[in-house]
Structure 1
Amino acid sequence: MTTTEKPEIGATAIANGISTNYLEGGSGDQTIVLIHGSGPGVTSYANWRLVIPTLAEKFRVIAPDMVGFGYSERPDNVAYGVQTWADQVIGLMDTLGIAKASLVGNSFGGAIALRIATQHPDRVDKLVLMGSMGVEFPITEGLERVWGYEPSFENMRKVLDVFAYSRELVNDELAQVRYEGSIQPGFQEAFSAMFPAPRQRWVEAMCTPEDEIRKLPHKTLIVHGREDQVIPVQTSLRLMELIDNGDLSVYSHCGHWSMIERNADFNRALTEFFSS
């Protein structure tokens, strides 16, 4: 899946001027781009490690680290925002010669996917929006905790507590790994610059106007964990109302990590969706 011994680090390409780390797997006529969420210390690998191998059995899969996250470049003059991230994805597709791709967006990645689909509808085949941002909602206590993270083991444990429904997933080992990931050089500096308080404005900045979402023609699968404490399930209900060709799946006993907590169901749903 990657070209290095460290699984988080894959290949590198210039995407809209940004040196971008991305994972790649599989082959085929259909390309799927996976866009990760915005948790502290997150990488594309951390988000999609249980998804890429399954999708790569049938499709070409590309999973980049968005600028400011993971192992992509962090230019000093970059303006973090949904447009910058959307332009990075389109730039990566251009560099890799991908004329059209399906997009899978997790949380903040869903907002990026929506922005791309509305601005470049001809570059997008199908959409999957998982626990997605992109429409307005009052910021949750969970998202405040995620975006307001200050590095410590205890604080990372508190962040993980709001991500997962299953207590079995939230253990000290995972918290330690994610904490160590969050304190690598440059990681927290970039993260803290993205969503400073007051944070409701950043929820709104990630939105795409509803009249533009209504125009989307793309076949869309919307997925949400019923017990999500970070992005309320009502956002996906709203997206289902707005997207004419959108189907909604809500997973019980599942928090913000549908792709991890309901991994078998999630992978099966995506495989069927992209195969149809």
Structure 2
Amino acid sequence: MSDNPEIGQNVDVNGIGTNYITAGSGTPLILIHGSGPGVTAYANWRGVIPDFSQHFHCYAPDTLGFGYTDFPDDIDGFSMDRWVAHLIGFMDALGIAKAHFIGNSYGGALTLALATRHPDRVGGIVLMGSAGRAEFQMTQGLQEVWGYEPSIDNMRELMRTFAHDPSLVKEEIVRSRYEASIRPGAHEKYSSLFPGPRQRWLTELSTSDDKLSAMPHPTLIVHGREDVIVPVERSIRFNEVIPNSELHVFGNCGHWTQIEMRERFVELVIPFLKRIAL
């Protein structure tokens, strides 16, 4: 066992060693992280997994290309097809026939892609500051996230972009994410995920309105009003297009809903998902 809490269990997913955090028992709940530098499932979800694991069997994987999951040698650019295939393979490897999903930003886009391609594998959905629609134009905030160059000052400024209240950006978070971003080979791998021109990757992450409007899944959409990475207007449009959806907007909140509004986020999500049968 590693002393690093970001390294949990490992499962072989079609030849890809996949790192994941797990806790709890009962109904499966899969939590999909965002796409920032130095991100891992643990870094993204550690504040809420203790709450969710009291009601669900939580699985938080490092998705393909991120964290401590193996980075394929044969990678020639990433695609939504490959991200979805890896996530379905992860479920198959662990014997998860169907699960609820919480997706953060990029993780929300991945969740929507999976739900529209494999609807029978998905129960309830929670989108949090989610990408995933073609009309989303690149923001300066997201440009800075995907164009990050490693330095402690750059990481500190980037983390302050994520949070509306800069006092929430503790030096421990900055240092942890910075150290993760400079692991041997980490920046080269991260830079290969969303190389410029970057607008094309928002298109790659998108699901068409026709497919979204056909989704039967109960969907809770959560967004911070002051989010400068993914503007709240994206979630308003999701709510307009996804038929079985409801929208909750937090004021005085940026892109880190699960951190900035942790208690209220948990209070919204748990009863929403518990009333949905798999």
- TM-score tier by shorter-chain length is over 0.9
Quote the offset at 1:190 in angstroms: 1.0
Deviations 1:55-96 (A, max 9, x none): 100110000001211100011112422221111111011011
Deviating 4+ runs (over 6 angstroms):
none
Q: Which moved more, 1:180-189 or 1:91-100?
A: 180-189
> What amino acid is the match of 1:55?
F
> What amino acid is the match of 1:47?
N
- Is 1:42 the counterpart of 2:39? The answer is yes
Q: 1:13, 1:124 → 2: CA distance?
A: 21
What is aligned with 2:51? 54
Deviations 1:41-64 (A, max 9, x none): 100000000111111001100000
- Is 1:63 the counterpart of 2:73? The answer is no
Deviations 1:90-145 (A, max 9, x none): 10110110100011100000000000000000010111110000012111000000
Q: 1:250, 1:198 → 2: CA distance?
A: 31
Alignment check: 8 A CA contact 1:37 1:107 kept:
yes
Deviations 1:210-229 (A, max 9, x none): 10111000000000000001
- Is 1:21 the counterpart of 2:19? The answer is yes
Q: 1:99, 1:62 → 2: CA distance?
A: 13
- Is 1:233 the counterpart of 2:236? The answer is no
> What amino acid is the match of 2:132?
G
> What amino acid is the match of 2:169?
V
Alignment check: 8 A CA contact 1:68 1:187 kept:
no
- Give the TM-score normalised by structure 1: 0.96
Q: 2:20, 2:157 → 1: CA distance?
A: 29
> 1:124-139 counterparts in 2 under 5 A?
124-135=122-133, 136-139=135-138
- Give the TM-score normalised by structure 2: 0.96
**Unaligned stretches of 5+ residues in structure 1:** none
Q: 2:114, 2:212 → 1: CA distance?
A: 11
Alignment check: 8 A CA contact 1:41 1:178 kept:
yes
> 1:70-219 counterparts in 2 under 5 A?
70-78=67-75, 79-135=77-133, 136-219=135-218
Quote the offset at 1:179 in angstroms: 0.9
Q: Percent identity?
A: 51
**Unaligned stretches of 5+ residues in structure 2:** none
Pairwise CA RMSD: 1.1
Q: 1:122, 1:42 → 2: CA distance?
A: 29
Quote the offset at 1:174 in angstroms: 2.5
Q: 2:87, 2:209 → 1: CA distance?
A: 22
Deviations 1:4-23 (A, max 9, x none): 43210111112243210000
From 8, 11, 30, the equivalent of 1:10 is 8
Question: How many residue pairs get matched?
Answer: 273
What is aligned with 1:223? 222
What is aligned with 1:244? 243
Q: 1:154, 1:103 → 2: CA distance?
A: 34
Quote the offset at 1:171 in angstroms: 3.7
Alignment check: 8 A CA contact 1:240 1:247 kept:
yes
Quote the offset at 1:204 in angstroms: 1.2
Seen in structure 2, the aligned counterparts of structure 1 residues 161 and 194 have a Cα distance that, compared at 3 Å, is: same
What is aligned with 2:30? 33
